[in-house]
Structure 1
Amino acid sequence: MAEGRTYVCIDLKSFYASVECVDRGLDPLKANLVVADPDRTEKTICLAITPSMKALGLSSRCRVFEIPEGVDYVMARPRMQRYMEASADIYSIYLRYVSPEDVHAYSIDECFIDATPYLALYRMEPKEFAVMLMDAVLADTGVCATAGIGPNLFLAKVALDITAKHAEDHIGYLDQAEFERSIQTHRPITDIWNIGPGIAKRLAKYAVYDLRGVCEMSEATLYREFGVNAEYLIDHAHGVEPCTIADIHAYEPSGHSLGNGQVLPCDYSFEEARDVLKEMVDQLVLDLVEKRLVAGSISLYVGYAKGRRADGGSDAQGCGAARGEGDRVDDDGTDAFFDGDHGRRPASGRRGFPHTGSTRRQADRTNLYSKLMPRFLDLFDETTRKDAPIRRINVGVGGVLPEEFATMDLFSDAEAEAEELRLQQAVLAVKGRFGKNALLRGTSLKEKATARERNEQIGGHHA
């Protein structure tokens, strides 16, 4: 390639659904299969569907009730552990041909490969190299793949997302000239990597609906609208991406944090959500202790089901509500939501839902349950509404450093704190040997508690 480097971005086609098909002896390209939890309502979102289901006009993250009546299909319960194992197996296939230093795992079913040094080694053109990897994955696992090829990571990703869909061999190719010819004027702009509905909406204020329009905008206007993030938008509008896989591997973040969050199964009251918060903080503290870290700040996000509607009424909803979790509409009466391949979400991200929360710096760095729990509860009590049903909770700690940086003062009881840490380590040992549900606090036995179920899940789904 004229640009000097060649990148390949490989995506596993309908990955979860393909794994389920292969395990059942079905053809992933021809079988009708959806990955969804049959124990949930018909409003549950499918984690994946096979290409034959997409051919019916369904989106890859459709809801079960959207599947037309009369369609004969298999519903597979999600098995996240199985998908992680399959992903690891496929990653090991790539390592037969390339060094791990030239691979970046972007997600469970997608990765970037710097193919530059291997084209001469294998005496192949870029497409031949991609086909070699795709054929190896298909032969060993039965899972089909698609690929994008480009002179930088951005063009390779866009080639995968847009160009490969229309190629008979499922391989997309973009160089600078082809990008300027076919992608800069592509619409909708949300098809472009890293341009979500929120950015698209802000660009629309300036009558800009594609990358060509971004190129023609004043950089001063872009920086005023997007701040430092305008740099990425400007580069990508011109097909430029200076970051390499080596840069990604060498990256060291200036700060570290830990956190966890969950969408509640139905509307929770203030007290019910407070109990869930206790469970989440308990797990967060155990994570800190296990990793031998201490935190300098705490953060809380609480999202509510109660939104606003065009008629000014409330759209608070219970379990399995038809419109989703706290849908809201814009002032013009149109839904402020975006339907994409990764599900339905508000155009402004989580900000599209009413929410409260805050981040607070602590006077000390600690990982002690006795200190962190009351601080989280105080933050929850002070910032959370008591008159609105709650549907989402996220907790986090920031300013994370190794345990040796824990703050000590003249008023600390060193012996008591050491004993508490030993107790937490004992809890971790028991959970590690006998399972996470081997030891639970009494709060987790309440009706609306979620820890017991979540301890048997990966990423909010059945392991």
Structure 2
Amino acid sequence: MMPQVIPPQRAYIIIDLKSFYASVECVDRGLDPMKALLAVADAERSKGTICLAITPAMKALGIKNRCRIYEIPKHLDYIVAPPRMKRYIDISADIYGIYLSYVAKEDIHVYSIDESFLDVTNYLGLYGLSAHDLALRIMNDIREKLGLRATCGIGTNLYLAKVALDILAKHSPDFIAELTEDSFKQRLWTHRPLTDFWRIGPGTARRLSSMGIINQCDIAHFPEKLMYKQFGVLAEYMIDHAWGRESCTMQDIKNYRTRTKSLSCGQVLMRDYSFEEALIIVKEMADELSLDMVAAHVVSSNVSLFVGYSKDAYPSTGASANLPVTTNSFRILMDTFAKLYSRSTMRGIPIRRVCISANSVLDECYEQYSFFVDPVIMEKDRRITQSVNQIKARYGKNAILKGMDLYEAGNTIERNEFIGGHKAGATLY
């Protein structure tokens, strides 16, 4: 009988940049990110705009990270820095470059613009360092080269690393925390609230509370049959996590491919829009979606529309529709979305949010034709859209516009200057 081969215990770290956007703004101004009072927000929009980030010094005053400008005490002397998304992306790329100087790209998973997982299992022997000391070296490298303070979670699996970061690292003197399955049970089994743990939101926490479950220990010892009855397949993840287990590895993440894909775009409007004004927004977004689909060489046969209203008394409305053909034609997409909007959106109620999507997109080789749509027109639309994409790529997104973009209610021209819905901000304010 062959002896059982026990796989080596893995070592994962996840590094997060403290108050990333705010810290970048402080460093660029020659300020200490840990001491300066600064909020990143586009004050030109309104006093109700949400702060994308605030410095740790402001958090220490009891100000919430995702607060609105009017919620910051008026007597406070602080800097309001307009967001500069291009700058943050460039700095994030610099940080990724630092990671690459320590581990291969196959062992890095960029979780967000300011968080990345690193599988350092095979590098500890190479550097002759513990996971803690290697993490500290990388964090110090980031601070010396970019002036940014980082925090780090270390775990024997990806989940434990994330929990160590989210709950424990900020309370550690060197901003590093480590967890194993055993130490997880010792330190966090009775931790509250449950919403501090990854993947447990307020709704899930309320459902668990109604079952008498208030911490991870309760989940671990609750009858599994009842957990599966309440949460279905999600119960498997919740039970595993309650015991500090996680089967997903870095290789699994790298090998993962979604079965179906979709493309979408959405926006929160800066004022109340009437039914007629929001129709212009829908048409602009349909045109944007067509440009993205042609650039990605994909087509779709089904689309969805979501509309949110400014009055909480009115629930959001959503609807979907099949396209007459599988296509990425701006003409067909715009016509379908306009009809979908007209039949599903409430009239007379101010509109604040719009989102559209092309569902289950396929490679454009699967484009289909029908007797009711002239294929010559569809091919002409594609060539036009390809030309528009080429012009925009070379001369800027506002180099070519449609007449509807010039309407007062239109906002394509302004949004073309944004990255991720916020100002690219080429200059320092």
TM interval, shorter chain, is over 0.9
Alignment partner, residue 460 of structure 1? 421
* d(CA) in 2 for partners of 1:289, 1:106: 27
Contact 1:34 1:74 in 2 (8 A): yes
Output the TM-score relative to the length of structure 1: 0.87
**Partner SS, residue 244 of structure 2:** coil
Partner AA of 1:96 in structure 2:
S
Output the TM-score relative to the length of structure 2: 0.94
Q: 1:267 to 1:432 in 2, by over 3 A?
A: same
Superposition pairs of residues 4-153 of structure 1, within 5 angstroms:
4-153=9-158
1:149: how far off?
0.4
Partner AA of 2:326 in structure 1:
R
1:434 counterpart (373, 395, 406): 395
Q: CA RMSD in A?
A: 1.6
Is 2:331 the partner of 1:370?
Answer: yes
* d(CA) in 2 for partners of 1:33, 1:282: 38
Deviations 1:33-74 (A, max 9, x none): 111112132222111111111111111112222222332211
Gapped runs of 5+ residues in structure 1?
309-352
2:170 counterpart (149, 165, 170): 165
Identity across matched positions, percent: 50
Is 2:205 the partner of 1:200?
Answer: yes
Superposition pairs of residues 390-429 of structure 1, within 5 angstroms:
390-429=351-390
Alignment partner, residue 250 of structure 2? 245
**Partner SS, residue 77 of structure 2:** coil
* d(CA) in 1 for partners of 2:358, 2:228: 30
Partner AA of 2:310 in structure 1:
A
Partner AA of 1:243 in structure 2:
C
Alignment partner, residue 235 of structure 1? 240
1:302 counterpart (301, 307, 332): 307
Q: 1:211 to 1:360 in 2, by over 3 A?
A: farther
Contact 1:3 1:151 in 2 (8 A): no
Contact 1:14 1:48 in 2 (8 A): yes
Partner AA of 1:132 in structure 2:
R
Q: 1:69 to 1:374 in 2, by over 3 A?
A: closer
1:366: how far off?
0.6
Deviations 1:119-142 (A, max 9, x none): 111010111010011011111100
**Partner SS, residue 408 of structure 2:** coil
Contact 1:357 1:380 in 2 (8 A): no
Gapped runs of 5+ residues in structure 2?
1-6, 425-429
* d(CA) in 1 for partners of 2:368, 2:391: 28
Contact 1:303 1:391 in 2 (8 A): yes
1:262 counterpart (261, 267, 276): 267
**Partner SS, residue 203 of structure 1:** helix
Structure 1 window deviating more from structure 2 (410-419 vs 286-295): it is 410-419
1:247: how far off?
0.5
Alignment partner, residue 360 of structure 1? 321
1:382 counterpart (343, 355, 378): 343
**Partner SS, residue 117 of structure 1:** coil
1:117: how far off?
0.3
Superposition pairs of residues 268-279 of structure 1, within 5 angstroms:
268-279=273-284
| Corresponding pairs, count | 419
1:393: how far off?
0.7
